[in-house]
Amino acid sequence: MKNNSYDAVMARKGEIIRQSVGIDYAPFEYGVLAFDFERMMKSTGYALPEIQAIQEETGVGHTALYELKNLTALARTLAPKGKGARIFIKDEAQNPSGSFKARRASVSVYQAQKLGYPGVLTATSGNYGAAVASQAAMRGLPCIVVQECYDGRGIGQPEILEKARKCEAYGAEVLQLSVGPELFYQVLLLLEETGFFNASLYTPFGIAGVETLGAELVDDVRQRTARDPDAVVVTNAGGGNLTGTARGLRAAGATKTKIIASSVDLSGLHMASDGDFNRKSFTTGHTGFGVPFATNPDRSDVPRSAGRPLRYMDRYVTVAQGSVFYITQALAQLEGLERGPAGNTSLAAAFCLAQEMEEDEVLVVQETEYTGAGKHQNAQLSFARARGIEILVGDPREEIPGKTIVLPRHPRDLFVRDLDLAALRASALKHQTVGKGHRWITSKDRDYLMEETRLDQGAADAVLKDLGVEVGGSL
């Protein structure tokens, strides 16, 4: 009998993960702290055309690109003369499970089937669970989804409960937990007991699946406008969405397209706090995931996350919760598209960003998600009100996460706030070095950190000097 105490299972986590994802991460490691990211991505063994073929087998991809003419016209009434980029939206809600996550799940489940795993398991409270369950059903594999959905009083968020119902509809077994550290322990225990494939959000397979979205988006825009998109806005949480999309854009030759990350501002709320868990109205696409995963991506459930957003991010903006609910209603009433609020985080940002850009420029909102029942904005607002959060109409700049949600009075009240990318890049260097006990690194480690953060050598050396990290020599 194995010792299944918390400490014993955690001590075996490296071997459990290696067995459950079929990847030995050790060959990618070098230097003191560096790893070969590109080599890891190539380890999937699938080129872009092969991934597209895999996805076509289960009806994933080839989603519509809509030009939001009415929202563009509205943005132009608020913009300076000559400003107001054309806003397009890639409708990923058309995928089988209702979100872009079907692209991530498709390759992971295919890999599990190819390698002969008896089933698939994933830990997620978001759309990814439904995506894995859907793809597993199509390929005849059992599926387990582990969710963190309740606070300490047993109160579940309506959005997460909605996703649980969707997972169960596809035949998945759903294990629902309360917020806390037991999630990873339960996942490891289940992976070891079942021998299932770990369809993690952060393996190379999952990220490679999103590359088709970026490449497809470029082709769609070229066909419609005879040019590349000038900017693409991506809702950012764990970083995989942005990483995969950006890599797809590059693969399609759109090297000058700006990649803009957008997250809901939930500053002040702690994602692992039982008290804060139900005081947020967004379970993903917010700063509680976006910022820590940008600066420390390897906090995920695999040794090296394939989501590395700082490698690709040109700008990072936040929007208020009330602004996202507002633009969700505007999308429905002005464009006839009712989509889930979390997927509209990037649309709320795009509406503001378009007003900074020229009229002939093209701005693409990279994805939408399905909506219904608990995911709908009305359910979210009702749940917030029941938790004692005030729902106000006014200036969204005055919104206090966890205390108020402020719906804009007028479209002109929507705004974006820029996060300091230089500070995030410096924070990433800190996490990778002193945060892991490294006070000395090699020059190759520094080169790796420069790739990770897109800092030049002078800027990287300055940050490392401030951190007291010595660079030089070799192992």
The ranges assigned to domains in the chain are 6-48+99-203, 57-97+205-418, 422-471
Task: Return the residue matching tokens 């993903």.
Answer: 284
How do residues 430-467 score in pLDDT, each as one tens digit?
A: 999 999 999 999 999 999 999 999 999 999 999 999 99
- Tens of pLDDT, residue by residue over 297-339, are 998 889 999 999 999 999 999 999 999 999 999 999 999 999 9
Sheet holding 231-235, edge to edge: 65-67, 86-90, 362-365, 231-235, 258-264, 315-319, 417-418
**pLDDT above 80 for 72:** yes
Q: For residues 360-368, give the mean pLDDT.
A: 97
Q: Average pLDDT, whole number, for the chain?
A: 95
**pLDDT value for 135:** 98
Q: What pLDDT, on a 0 to 100 scale, did the predictor assign at position 301? A: 87
Distances (CA, A) of 423 to 57, 61, 75, 349, 463: 43, 36, 31, 21, 10
Phi-psi region of 79 (alpha: psi -120 to 50; beta: other; left: phi over 0): beta
Q: What is the pLDDT of residues 179-225, one digit of tens each?
A: 877 888 999 999 999 999 999 999 999 999 999 999 999 999 999 99
pTM of the entire predicted model = 0.96
What pLDDT shows up at residue 283? 83
Domains 6-48+99-203 and 57-97+205-418 share a fold: yes
Of 295, 281, 198, 184, nearest to 239 by C-alpha is 295
Flag whether pLDDT at 1 surpasses 80.
no
Sign of CA dihedral 224, 228, 209, 338: negative
Question: For a pLDDT cut of 70, what percent of the chain falls above it?
Answer: 100
Strands 34-35 and 315-319 turn out to be unpaired
Q: What is the pLDDT of residue 37?
A: 97
270-280 confidence digits (pLDDT tens): 877 888 888 89
Strand, helix or coil for residue 359: coil
Structure tokens at 93: 């809600």
- Percent of the chain's residues with pLDDT above 90: 87
CATH topology of domain 57-97+205-418: Rossmann fold (3.40.50)
CB proximity list for 383: less than 8 A, separation 6 or greater: 157, 158, 278, 281
Mean pLDDT within 102-109: 98
For the beta carbon of residue 388, count every other beta carbon within 10 angstroms. 9
Q: Which of 372, 377, 378, 352 is nearest to 363 (CA)?
A: 352
* Fold observed for domain 6-48+99-203: Rossmann fold (3.40.50)
Residue type, 20: S
Residue with tokens 């990072």: 316
Q: What whole-number distance in Å separates Cα of residue 384 and Cα of residue 388?
A: 7
* Average pLDDT score over residue span 220-241: 97
**What's residue 475's pLDDT?**
67
